A and B are shown apart, each in its own frame.
Chain A
Amino acid sequence: MDNIISKIILRVKQWQFRQWTVLFIFGLFVISNSAYLSSVPGLLGDEGDEGHNVYELLNKTKPAIQGERSYIGVWIDYLRIPFVFVFGYNIFSLRVIVFLFSITFFWFAYDVLLKIFGEIPGLFGLVTIAFSPIFWSEMRIGWAITLLPFFAILTIYLLRKKSYWSPLLAGLSAGFGLSTHLLFLPVLMAILGVLGVNWIIQVIHRFSFQQIKQFFADATFFLIGFWSIFCVQFVNLLINNKDQGNIEKTASLFSTRLGELFSIAPRFLSGSLFIAQYTAKTFNDGAALIITIILLLLIICGFIFSRHKYAIAGWLIGFCASYVILIYMVEYYAIRYFIIITLGTWLMAGIGLGEIIGRLHKKIGYSLMIILSIVLIVANFSLIIFPFLTFGGSNDTFPIIGASRFEYASGRVATAPLINCVSSLDQIFSNNVHIRNRLYYLADGNPQIRNAERKQDVRWLISYRLPNDKITPDEVCPYLNNFRVTPLRDQGSVDWPKD
């Protein structure tokens, strides 16, 4: 044991500026990502629903292999069980898993980016993605879809490894990704597509039967690994398909969605929409456009200056392809669908910046990397955390597409004040499914939250306090910024769910 410790100490003593910089950046990443983990944002409705699934599985009220939805895997629920046992049914136990995945993501991304794009560009790419407002605002939420970037980078990492079993493990990772959420499919197709084209180019360049044989062996292993995990979700997808919407209608509106894309691109690429989910305030369109242009210019610079042009082109094609497939699959635009493409844009912009700075002295590059990390953290705190903490979020709306389609920020409002309020009340209910999902999950571990079990039992109704809602005299907890708790006057106003 002493020998191991002394070896580690010796190794650390040999560290140079580069290693210390990476460690420092990782420390910043850990601190930044764990800050206010259980309070910013408040519990999301869908997050609560996924958490409640854990309770249902433990109480055997649903089949053991069924996740929250047919397209969301159940394995993550089983992973949540020990955390729920240790920390209880609260926000932290859902998010700490995601936090652990984020930490792992950091190191896999570090390995992949450095090997593909070189030291300085790779690290700049990592810093830009890991400290971006998009990562901070989305990659901390304890729902399944958050894990997709992790599985994407893990799959790439394993596909690039030269060990005998790595195709099998890459397939396993891809299977986990697609089982986690069906929206991993575009990412997976893009990864395989780009690698496939790359392989074809290599085969054309220097043909050998050995290469073809190796490819088929690897592809078989990949498929075995993939299917070993995805097969369970496959059955779920095909048997419980009622929650998958109208596939034909979704496909028919593809061109409409594609047409809208360019008009809204600056809003999501700049990170404006992600921030607005917490504060209901978007950047003005000019600022969003400038940020987007800067990002795109950095990408172009990266491409021009880089010695890894093929790699950059491959990644860009991959991101675009995955996004087109995603637009084809989804019924409407939701902000979470923009995560991968936006993170990809920031990543490539970071690599572009790294390519420019990499021409200077390396130590300057590392120093600027630390400065960039701190600047982005400050931006996240000032744009997201502090405004959110002041008001506990907002129920206001913000525009997504032009001035025609708006989104409520109410999905992320702080839930702690509401829980404090309803703990003294009996038979509570909300007509809003997202509020109800949060209450169900939190009630699983808190007997003071007493949800009504039958329509006729409901005594208190909970709803969002919309911007123009005034405080009424019968309201309890009138101090709540984002919720209203009112006594039930009329049974007819209870919209009891059918299931």
Chain B
Amino acid sequence: MLRVSILLFFFLFLFVQTYYLTSVPGLVGDEGYEGLSVIDHIRDSKPFFIGRESYVAFWSDYVRLPFVLWLGETALAMRIPLVLANCVTFWLAYYFFRRVFDIRLVFFIMAACFFSPPYILYQRISWPINFLPLFTFLLLFVLTRNFRSKPVIVGLIGGLGISTHVTFAAPLVGIFGAYLLAKYRDLKKISTWWPALIGFSAGFGLQLAIMWQMTVESARVGHFSLIIERLEILYPTLFNYFSGVSYWGEYTGDVSHDIARIIIFLLLVFVFCALLIKPYKKIALFWLIGIIISIATTVIIVSYFRTRYLHVITIALWGLAGLGFSKVMLNTFKSKKMLIPLAFLCAILLSFWTYRAVFVPYEKTGGTTLNFQDSGNSWDKSSHFADIQPLANCVKNIGLVFSEEPKISNRLKFLREADQHIKVADERKKAKWFVDYRGPRELDDPSKNRPGEVCPNVRNFIVIPNDEYVPPKPKITNNG
């Protein structure tokens, strides 16, 4: 019964993960950039051990590479490896939670983690940072097992996680902080953990060396002088991120603070339930301590807040709230036969809510270029999530196009690898057409179309004649 239940739960998860995988969202700005990095590796035009950025591991490019070769330069090819990683994450999390908690609670926690809007909305975008939940649960899975080589394997996972994206340092420090507190009676044994340093170095050393060699680019990570500024905006940032509204703001440009307040209220209630209701009060406390340490580490290491930097922490908080909710349910129903179907129901409701709130509006409009309040007092554009396919269809066969927006240009450059009718210029003067985002005020208002615009029906982008275009000089052939 249990096996069937978890299998059904997994298939539900897989369905949600793959639903509209290629179109919601369309190819995202940085995904195009990642794709170009894969193409660089295919063409051997950069050292094989260098990823998209100095702080991003190269291995994620190689994971995507066979899929890009097989399926072509598409969003699907980029996203399949992440779906596979998510499947592994699901099972690791299941076995980890099962080892720690009563099985009656596990399904609720899993539902809160893997069907939460932040998870559904972000774990389909092929960024290396989205492999971090995999490393987090892998680390937790290994930490709760007993075998002799555990220290070296734990170190290796930690190192590989940080090399995948340096922001993994936050969950890593959080997990170890909580683990050390939980095991403080065994602190004498800490000296037996020295192999973890070797494992960590094996996992992270290469990336660290690359970051040292390419210091300018890596400077984006860790502006310690701005810590106070980050602390000042921390509360509203966490409010937006933990409630998930920033995640769907990126899809729809629409952030409802009323909904955010309700979600945060419910999350807090269930977190308190996790802390105050038996059983597993101690574990819930360490879980919360881990989250707090992770947040503090994030504040220290990142230059500015982005949803993706706090993604793992957000999922952890939803999981903790899931634990609280499950305890309430356990005290109410007690029976496994009731609790597991209830967990299913929760998962379905969460998925359906995400579908209604985000997928449906996005499918209708193909995203938007509206700004939304992202982290605290800063505003972000939804434009890099806007569906690029209508634009790609528009610029086919019209000649060279150029965009000053790297997130448009990178996407078009990636797509042109699959479709040679799309031509992208590297310099503005060489392009006949200029591409940009359609301003938020111009959306859905045909009267504001630009003169000479082609494809005015493309909602989020404009394609206009390039006023800086310099026609190439005709070649003079000497026939005489």
Contacts and interface: CB of A to CB of B under 8 A. Distances in A.
B195 interface: yes
Contacts of A164: 148
Given A165-B195, A224-B198, A228-B198, A235 B213 contact: yes
Contact of B205 (A217, A221, A231, A238): A231
A228 B198 CA distance: 6
A217 B201 CA distance: 19
Given A63-B212, A235-B213, A238-B47, A225 B198 contact: yes
B208 interface: yes
Interface residues of A, number: 21
A64 B208 CA distance: 11
A168 interface: yes
Nearest to A64: B212
Interface string A219-242: 001001101110110111011000
Nearest to A233: B209
B199 interface: yes
A197 B37 CA distance: 41
B170 interface: no
Given A164-B148, A221-B152, A235-B209, A228 B49 contact: no
A228 B205 contact: yes
Where chain B touches its partner, the secondary structure class is: helix
A225 B201 CA distance: 9
Nearest to A65: B212
B213 A239 contact: yes
Contact of A225 (B49, B202, B212): B202
Most buried by B among A221, A224, A227: A224
Contacts of A168: 152, 195, 198
A239 B208 CA distance: 14
Contacts of A236: 209, 213
Contacts of B148: 164
A230 to B, nearest CB: 8
Contacts of B144: none
Contact of B202 (A64, A217, A231, A235): A231
Contacts of B205: 227-229, 231-232
A221 B201 contact: no
Contact of B206 (A217, A225, A235): A235
A400 interface: no
A187 B441 CA distance: 70
A168 B197 CA distance: 12
A64 B49 CA distance: 20
A56 to B, nearest CB: 15
B166 interface: no
Interface string B235-259: 0000000000000000000000000
Contact of A232 (B149, B199, B209): B209
B210 A235 contact: yes
Contact count band on B: 20 to 34
B195 A231 contact: no
Interface in B200-243: 200-202, 205-206, 208-210, 212-213, 215
A232 B205 CA distance: 6
Contact of A228 (B47, B199, B212, B215): B199
A468 B149 CA distance: 67
Interface string A229-269: 10110111011000000000000000000000000000000
Nearest to B203: A228
B370 interface: no
A63 B152 contact: no
Nearest to B194: A165
B10 to A, nearest CB: 30
A407 B274 CA distance: 78
Contacts of A65: 209, 212-213
Contacts of B195: 165, 168
B21 to A, nearest CB: 35
Contacts of B152: 168, 221, 224
A172 interface: yes
A195 to B, nearest CB: 21
A225 B205 CA distance: 11
A225 B209 CA distance: 17
Contacts of A228: 198-202, 205
B156 interface: yes
A384 B200 CA distance: 47
Nearest to B215: A63
Contacts of B200: 228
Contact of B208 (A217, A221, A232): A232
Interface string A153-178: 00000000000110010001000000
A239 B149 contact: no
A134 B49 CA distance: 40
A415 to B, nearest CB: 34
Nearest to A171: B198
Contacts of A225: 198, 202
A153 B152 CA distance: 24
Nearest to B199: A224
Nearest to A240: B213
Given A221-B149, A224-B152, A227-B205, A235 B198 contact: no
B212 A238 contact: no
B198 A231 contact: no
Nearest to B163: A231
Contacts of B198: 168, 172, 224-225, 228
Nearest to B208: A232
A239 B212 contact: no
Given A63-B212, A224-B199, A239-B47, A231 B156 contact: no
A231 B209 contact: yes
Contacts of B49: 234-235, 238
A311 B278 CA distance: 65
Interface in B133-186: 148-149, 152, 156
Nearest to B213: A239
B208 A224 contact: no
Contacts of A232: 205-206, 208-209
Contacts of B149: 217, 221
Given A172-B198, A217-B149, A228-B201, 18 more contacts: A63-B213, A65-B213, A164-B148, A165-B195, A168-B198, A224-B156, A224-B199, A227-B202, A227-B206, A231-B201, A231-B206, A231-B209, A232-B206, A232-B208, A235-B206, A235-B209, A238-B47, A238-B49
11 contacts: A63-B215, A164-B148, A168-B152, A168-B195, A227-B205, A232-B206, A235-B49, A236-B213, A238-B47, A238-B49, A239-B213
What are the 7 A-B residue pairs with the smallest beta carbon separation, nearest first?
Answer: A228-B201, A231-B205, A235-B209, A228-B202, A231-B206, A232-B209, A224-B202
Interface of B: 47, 49, 148-149, 152, 156, 195, 198-202, 205-206, 208-210, 212-213, 215
Interface of A: 63-65, 164-165, 168, 172, 217, 221, 224-225, 227-229, 231-232, 234-236, 238-239
